[in-house]
Amino acid sequence: MARSTPVKKALRSLTWLVIIMAALAGLNTAASVLAANTKDDTGKWFAGASWVPELALDLQGGTQLTLAAQNTEGGSVTSQQLNQAVNIIRQRINATGVSESQINTQGTNNIVVSIPGKPDKATIDRIEAAAKLTFRPVLTTSAATNAAVGGDSATASPTPYTPPASLPATPSAKPTDASDLNQITPRLQDLYTNYDCKAPGDVTTAPDDEPLVTCDADGTAKFVLGPVEVSGADISNATSGLAQDSQGATTGQWAVNLTFNGDGSKDFSSVTNRLVKLQSPQNQFAIVLDGTVITAPATNAAITNGKAQITGNFTAESAKTLADQLKYGALPINFQVQSNENISATLGTAQLIGGLVAGLIGLILVIIYSVIQYRALAFVTVLSLGVAAALTYLVIAIMSWRVDYRLSLAGVAGLIVAIGITADSFIVYFERIRDELRDGRGLESAVEAGWKRALRTILASDSINFLAAVVLYVLAVSDVKGFAFTLLLTTLIDVVVVVLFTHPMMQLIARSRFFGEGHRFSGLDPAALGAVYRGRAQFRAPVVDGKRQRSAGEAQRRQTIAERKAQQNAGTTGSTTDGKDD
């Protein structure tokens, strides 16, 4: 088997880079064509596909709603209720697929919602609606699928499904209670069979006295639920803490503790007395917030004292989240739109232009520095920056329509910072090559030896940037996440570009006559760099005369301690030998 040469390795790496870029460009092109020309369900997978990345609120502008919270039971709205209302509104907006929205409180009873673009009426109606928490018995449940099952009507549809009108909508026998399976009519069974938990904008609603088909918050399970039997308004308190056994000892597992008021205690006692006698899944009690199941625990005992405990695979954080949802989920609050204004992106556009100008100036300075420092070698820097920019643009364009990523001003700042990160990798590599040339190696050998030394440094530097971006993304909020995300993305792309483009390009140009022979404008002239050539276990300093005096001084400054000692020892040995010859 023939040994792989540096040229073959370089061509192989460049081929992989071309394949990756062609695949990304092809995917975005195909998605754009399908989104524009396909009217069936297939085209909806690529909805919004375009070569222009989506912009966030600060760059695109959008709509700002000011909502006044009103307590339907009289009295004022507490700060805790207002904060929980913000969380519920945020969940509702995220459920519609809108990203980069901003929801904040204003004063003592106002909530300001800012959404990119112009929201439709359904989104505004969902924001205004009061939160509704209910308890419903589970009739049947199964793992959610994104494709309907059975018959000609079975299609993988991302849109809300409507059963045929010909199917009966009334039960064949009158249900005896809310857990009676006679609640499931042929029409309801067809809806459940063909129900798609991933259908965008599918708002699940049903009257309190009728069964409901819905899914859990993660879209991993779907349910047929019986009529409402307990209202969330009957919860007087909900807390999280470590569960205790009958002896009062802590079990080490987190749990959510519920306390009902008088009416709630009676209703919950009646329901749990019935559910505890049933088989799974009919012994489950679904807690439904805004039409979505947030949890569906099984009933292990009849609760007659109005105090229930929900156990499961909770962490301290998830238990507290569920307790807050139960405590404030049935908020006696509705919202009245005080103002509906269009947000101008003028300020963001001006800042974007300023940022792009600053980035362009920085890019020009990097190129000027490369030309002065590395002469013709600067063209590798320019090409590498171009490849990195193309890869970044392709990835962001695809993410815009695939995961609804929106580029904010902070994200643009992360892209500008990436110029310095990418240029730093090139400088490390080039300087390693020049160090090897100063040590007397030929260019091809210097490229390979310099790469082995530079790669460790580049990976260490990019690893630090990567970890910093991850920590910043996890701990930061709002726009700072956009900066952290683009910094993380460009750090990964920097590694790809250096490995698949910069190094292979150096392997190829090292065989050219212009660079291989060390032309004085190549940036890799050994004589101009002040090379130190090896002899038989000896070092010979470069000749110092005229224009080479500066190069010799540079070589002396760049020598390591070991090289200086070796050169001094070599000089001492040479002097002694000369003395003997005399």
How far apart, in whole angstroms, are the C-alpha atoms of residue 133 and residue 229?
A: 11
How far apart, in whole angstroms, are the C-alpha atoms of residue 506 and residue 437?
A: 14
At 332 the pLDDT is: 59
Angstrom CA distances, 365 to 67, 355, 381, 419, stand at 49, 15, 12, 11
Contact 84, 324 (CB under 8 A): yes
pLDDT tens sequence for the chain (582 residues): 445 688 999 999 999 999 999 999 999 888 888 777 765 544 556 666 788 887 777 777 778 888 887 776 667 777 777 877 787 777 667 655 555 677 888 877 888 888 877 766 766 766 666 667 888 999 999 886 654 333 333 333 355 677 888 888 888 888 899 898 988 999 889 888 888 887 644 445 678 888 999 888 778 889 999 999 998 878 888 888 888 776 777 778 888 888 998 888 999 999 999 999 999 899 998 988 778 888 888 988 888 888 888 888 788 888 887 787 777 665 656 777 777 777 776 556 777 788 788 888 888 998 998 899 888 989 999 999 999 999 999 999 998 887 778 888 888 888 888 888 888 898 999 999 988 888 888 888 999 999 999 999 999 999 999 999 999 888 876 668 888 889 999 999 999 999 999 999 999 999 888 888 888 888 888 777 766 554 443 334 444 444 445 444 555 555 555 555 566 666 555 544 444 444
Q: Which residues of 67-98 are buried (b: 16+ CB within 10 A; e: fewer)?
A: bbbeeeeeeebeeebbebbbbbbeebbebbeb
Tally DSSP H helices, then E strands, for the chain.
18, 15
How far apart, in whole angstroms, are the C-alpha atoms of residue 416 and residue 365?
A: 13
DSSP category for residue 377: G
At 542 the pLDDT is: 47
| Residue 544 buriedness (CB in 10 A; 0-12 / 13-18 / 19+) | middle
At 470 the pLDDT is: 92
At 23 the pLDDT is: 95
Nearest of 18, 36, 52 to residue 397 by alpha carbon: 52
CA distance between the termini of the chain:
56
At 389 the pLDDT is: 92
Q: Helix or strand or coil: residue 439?
A: coil
Give the DSSP H/E element, type plus range, for residue 223: strand 221-225
At 25 the pLDDT is: 93
At 387 the pLDDT is: 94
Strands 110-116 and 285-289, how do they pair? unpaired
Residues 6+ apart with CB under 8 A from 28: 49, 51, 394, 397, 398
At 507 the pLDDT is: 93
Residues 6+ apart with CB under 8 A from 242: 250, 251, 252, 253, 254, 255
CA 318 to chain centre: 21
At 451 the pLDDT is: 94
Q: Which two tokens stand for residue 277?
A: 């006698």
How far apart, in whole angstroms, are the C-alpha atoms of residue 432 and residue 455?
A: 10
CA angle 367, 368, 372 (to 5 degrees): 115
Beta bridge partners of 334: 70
